[in-house]
Structure 1
Amino acid sequence: MPTMNDVAKLAGVSRGTVSNYVNGVKVKESSQKKIQSAIEQLNYIPNIMARELKMNRSNLVVFIIPSTRTPFFAELTHKMQQALREENFKMLLCNSNNEIKEELEYIQMAKEQKVAGIITISYSDLAPYIMTELPIVSIEKRLSETIPCISADNYSGGKLAAQKLVEKGSKNLLVITRSTYKTEVNYGQRVTGVIDYCEQEGVSYTLFDSRTHEEEFYPELADYIGGLARKGFPYDGIFAVADQYADFCLNILESAKYEIPKDIQIIGFDGGRMYPEQQRFVSSIRQPISEIVQQSVHSLQLILQNKEKKVYQTQYLPVDYLEGITTRRM
């Protein structure tokens, strides 16, 4: 079985440099490439258990997400695993189904297993249950002032969506959202951005705001859009707070023989694709997934390096407009 000394000899570096590389300590890029090449050639397996005992924690990072069923969460999960692996962490994926009970169980498990830390997307009221000694980074929702929060700029994204619809010729907008206490930080901010833009620019808009959970939301939305479509759809632009809602509207309206985007333009939010080569997708406000991932991992590393408590401000990252098939090309 190859040893660390064998790796050092083949890579032409010292054993200490190999040890630093294996344990996540930064070494020169040229040395990184040589060491990684030697590890792969020798099929060297680091003594992870010994390293973890020395560090008094594992190299596991728990990633808690509410769902894996949307392209956005799927892409986020994929890129998070890649980014953590590059920093010598292993990711443990936990799907909470957007339930606080499951989130708390995962957090307790993480604490008992002495994981390196947690990166979470939670829309629940976790603040009273958070153990501050456990390194945590939150995505989108601010959990406490001592926990870093990384988020797309949802408010600016809403304004950008309304601006694009108007620039492309829409004059009467329908804004589709779903309001529960869990959607205030994302959907709520997106809608506020749209409304502020419309009121500032004198654009007519109507708000479809369902207070249901997602299972009941789709039948309610289908009845609403379908009913309007049968009478003569009165809007020439739709902003939906999520791509899946935008796509749902697209299918209903096309079934009712409306031409999209000639008759009605639609913009969603997230900008994820089912697969990288997907050609037919709704126009959307694209969340900066790679930047969210990189900042989340970076923030976790900073916490691990500096154990002192610190007050963090939410870090908002800029969004972009993604042209799809549901808006007119100008």
Structure 2
Amino acid sequence: MPTMNDVARLAGVSRGTVSNYINGVQVKLESQQRIQAAITELNYVPNSTARELKLNRSNFVVFILPTTRTPFFAELTQEIQQMLKQKNYKMLLCTSQNDIAEELEYIQMAKEQKVAGILTISYSDLGKYLTNDVPIVSIENHLSKTIPCVSSDNYAGGCMAAKQLLEKGAKNLLILTRSTEKTAVNYGQRAQGFIDYCQHKQVDYTVFDSPYHEDRFYPQLQTFLMNTYQKACPFDGIFAVSDQYADFSYTILRQLGHAVPQSVQLIGFDGGKMYPEQKYFLSSIRQPVKKIAEQCVSRLEELLWNKENDVKKTTILPIEFVQGETTKK
């Protein structure tokens, strides 16, 4: 089993420098890189118990998200857990159901347990309640100027959806979205990208925008689609701002006897998978799940080890279109 001395010898630094790096004491950037490369090559695992006592924190990271009941959230949870494991952290999973009271309870619990840090997906006004006594990285929603954020390019995804529908022959476009106080950072950006692209190309489009949460949103969407598509297909290209909404719409269109994608094409957003080998049924704008996990853990480690880096910023990651069965090839 490799020791700290082995790491120091391979990295060409003193044992004390390796100890400082592992325990969060600032060392030169060049030394950081050489030590980390040596740790990786030797597969060196620090004595976590001793490190926890010295740093006064555990090796647990709390991941707070609204739910795991979507393929995207489930896949992201898996990727984050694996990435944390590679860095010798253990994940504690908490689901908040988008309830800020539950989010605050989990954060307080994390502080009391002296966890290493917190990763969170919160669409509430959580930022004003947070302090700097525990490292936090946010996903998608920039909570405050002092908290780094990692997000897919939602706006570009909306533009890409409109572009794909037009290139695949759709003439009359429809976007299905939902505008509440919690959806501006994701659905709002996706919808705006779609609208701006259509306006730039001088293409007609229609917006279905509900102000309700999902318990009232789905019945309203069902009524709209049933009335709109009862006899014909007035819109032959639909962009839904999430895969759940796209799948729900697909079911209704099929019930009404419309052929997808022959008569109407449909694109969602997320592109999540329940398992790696799963084939895409919905055509979708896929979020880079693995890269999101990598960036989140990287930002968290930079906060933990005080590395010389501007981590108080938003990292925007590129999206991609994935071809499924709901658009023409």
Shorter-chain TM band: 0.7 to 0.9
Say if 1:311 and 1:144 are closer, same or farther in 2 by CA, change over 3 A. Answer: farther
- TM (norm. structure 1) is 0.87
Write the letter of the residue equivalent to 2:233.
F
Distance in 2 of aligned mates of 1:31 and 1:299:
19
For residues 235-314 of structure 1, the aligned pairs below 5 Å read 235-306=235-306, 312-314=312-314
- Residue 131 of structure 2 corresponds to which residue in structure 1? 131
Say if 1:315 and 1:32 are closer, same or farther in 2 by CA, change over 3 A. Answer: closer
User: Where in structure 1 are there 5+ consecutive unaligned residues?
Assistant: 1-6, 40-45
Write the letter of the residue equivalent to 1:77.
T
> Does the Cα contact within 8 Å between 1:178 and 1:212 map onto a contact in 2?
yes
> Does the Cα contact within 8 Å between 1:145 and 1:311 map onto a contact in 2?
no
Distance in 1 of aligned mates of 2:268 and 2:226:
19
- Residue 100 of structure 2 corresponds to which residue in structure 1? 100
- Residue 188 of structure 1 corresponds to which residue in structure 2? 188
- Residue 154 of structure 1 corresponds to which residue in structure 2? 154
Distance in 2 of aligned mates of 1:236 and 1:299:
42
Q: Helix, strand or coil: the match of 2:131?
A: coil
> What is the RMSD of the two structures over their aligned residues, measured on CA atoms?
2.7
Cα deviation, 1:14-64, whole Å, max 9, x if unaligned, reads 4978x979x68975767756557xx9xxxxxx8643331122110111111
Q: How many pairs were matched up? A: 313
Cα deviation, 1:197-222, whole Å, max 9, x if unaligned, reads 11111111111011111122111111
Cα deviation, 1:286-308, whole Å, max 9, x if unaligned, reads 11111111111111111112189
Write the letter of the residue equivalent to 1:105.
E
- Residue 3 of structure 1 corresponds to which residue in structure 2? none
1:255 Cα offset (Å): 1.6
Say if 1:49 and 1:95 are closer, same or farther in 2 by CA, change over 3 A. Answer: same
Distance in 2 of aligned mates of 1:207 and 1:35:
53
For residues 314-325 of structure 1, the aligned pairs below 5 Å read 314-325=314-325
Write the letter of the residue equivalent to 2:87.
E
> Does the Cα contact within 8 Å between 2:299 and 2:311 map onto a contact in 1?
no
- Residue 218 of structure 2 corresponds to which residue in structure 1? 218
User: Where in structure 2 are there 5+ consecutive unaligned residues?
Assistant: 10-14, 24-31
Write the letter of the residue equivalent to 1:274.
M
Say if 1:16 and 1:247 are closer, same or farther in 2 by CA, change over 3 A. Answer: same
- TM (norm. structure 2) is 0.87
> Does the Cα contact within 8 Å between 2:128 and 2:144 map onto a contact in 1?
no
Cα deviation, 1:121-176, whole Å, max 9, x if unaligned, reads 10000122101221110110011111101110100110010000001111111100
Write the letter of the residue equivalent to 2:130.
I
Say if 1:305 and 1:32 are closer, same or farther in 2 by CA, change over 3 A. Answer: closer
For residues 14-53 of structure 1, the aligned pairs below 5 Å read 14=6, 27=35, 32=40, 48-53=48-53
Say if 1:133 and 1:252 are closer, same or farther in 2 by CA, change over 3 A. Answer: same
